[in-house]
Amino acid sequence: MKSKKPAESLKAAPSPVLVHLQLSGDPKCLALVRRILSASATSFPVSSSVLNDLKLAVTEACTNVIRHAFKYDFSRNFSLNLEFTSNVLKVRILYSDRLFDPEKIPIPDLSMVPEGGLGVFIIRKIMDEVVYSSDRETGEVVLHMIKFLHPTSSQGG
Amino acid sequence: MKIDCQIEEQKKVKAYALEGELDVHQAKELKSRLAEDLEEGAWTYILHMDRVQYLDSSGLGMLVYLKKEILRHGGKLRIDGLKDTVLNVFKLTKLDDFFELNSQ
């Protein structure tokens, strides 16, 4: 029996794509994040619908850091880590915000047609897992998000 | 963000062809540009968004603000040519009923 060629093995099980970015508080970086997400997803069979959702959720999360934690201070930095595998995208965003309390994220009242406060609402609609953790002493905040790339009826998405 | 504006004074219509990605960076620019153009009275403002590839809550918040301002001035807002991906953001936030939307 013929053994598989290396190229075929790679095609059968693509290696995870790991992306570690250090981003500034400049909102111009958001378009770059979306392009990196698109490029990272090319190794995996992700539908355009899921990819658009991912770009939206990750942009919303980064926007919240830039707008609410950094208040558009371009000199501040945060980390965005992406781990793509064939089935799942794991996202980790690390930044510093001593005032952030995950318990106090407001829930928007959609009946009032809000002009703001929809970012986390959208993130939670799109991603399968969303966990904020914060260290009150150091001020370090970590946002973990997971999205299953091929949702079944039981996984939602 | 690229913004082309056509004005029909007699019909009281201002139509804007938008091109780009409506995230927090671009939404601020568009908000200040359109807010400057608002007039008192029954003007119709049309946003052609067929070349808008991306919209998020920042862009959406700007549009909500804009529509409220237009209503306050006595006008109305119509949004045309929405791509499915952009329309999806309106639906996700249940704001599709608040706006007069026409998809592609």
CA distances, A69 to each of A101, A139, B85 (Å)? 11, 11, 28
Mark yes or no for CB contact A28/B25 under 8 Å.
yes
**Could you report the per-residue pLDDT of A43-62, keeping only the tens digit for each?**
887 899 999 999 999 999 99
* Other CB atoms within 10 A of residue A63 CB: 21
CATH number of the domain enclosing A139: 3.30.565.10
Which CATH number is B50's domain given? Answer: 3.30.750.24
pLDDT number for residue A103? 86
Please check the confidence at residue A5 and state whether its pLDDT lies above 60. no
- Cβ within 8 Å of B, A 51-90: 52, 55-56, 59-60, 63, 66-67
Tell me if A1 is assigned to some domain: no
- Give the distance from residue B63's alpha carbon to the nearest chain A alpha carbon, in angstroms: 8
pLDDT digits (tens, 9 = 90+) for A85-129: 989 999 999 999 999 988 888 888 888 888 889 999 999 999 999
Number of structural domains found in chain A? 1
Query: Which H, E and C letters describe B15-31, residue by residue?
Result: EEEEEEEECHHHHHHHH
The ipTM of this complex is 0.92
Average pLDDT on B22-31 reads 92
Q: Does B71 touch chain A (CB under 8 A)?
A: no
| Those residues with Cβ within 8 angstroms of residue A1's Cβ, 6 or more apart along the chain or in another chain | none
Look at residue A122 in the predicted model and tell me its pLDDT. Answer: 97
The count of domains in chain B is 1
Name the band, by pLDDT with cuts 50, 70 and 90, for residue A7: low
Q: What is the model's pLDDT at position A42?
A: 85
Distance from CA of A8 to the nearest CA of B (A): 34
Q: Are B59 and B82 in contact (CB under 8 A)?
A: no
Rounded Cα–Cα distance for residues A144 and A146 (Å): 7
In a domain, A9, yes or no: no
CA angle A116, A117, A122 (to 5 degrees): 110
Cα–Cα nearest to A57, from A123, A121, A107: A123
Domain contains A45: yes
A112 lies in some domain: yes
Query: Could you list the residue range(s) of the whole structural domain that residue A74 is in?
Result: 16-148
Q: Return the percentage of chain A with pLDDT > 90, whole number.
A: 68
Q: Do B93 and A28 touch (CB under 8 A)?
A: no
Whether residues A63 and B54 touch (CB distance < 8 A) is answered with: no
Asked, for residue A153, whether it belongs to a domain, the answer is: no
pTM: 0.90
Residue of A nearest to B63 (CA): A115
Q: Indicate whether A22 belongs to any domain.
A: yes
CB contact (8 A) between residue B93 and residue A56: no
User: CA-CA distance, A125 to A127, in Å (whole number)?
Assistant: 6
Which pLDDT band holds residue A12 (cuts at 50, 70, 90)?
Answer: low
Domain coverage including residue B53: 2-103
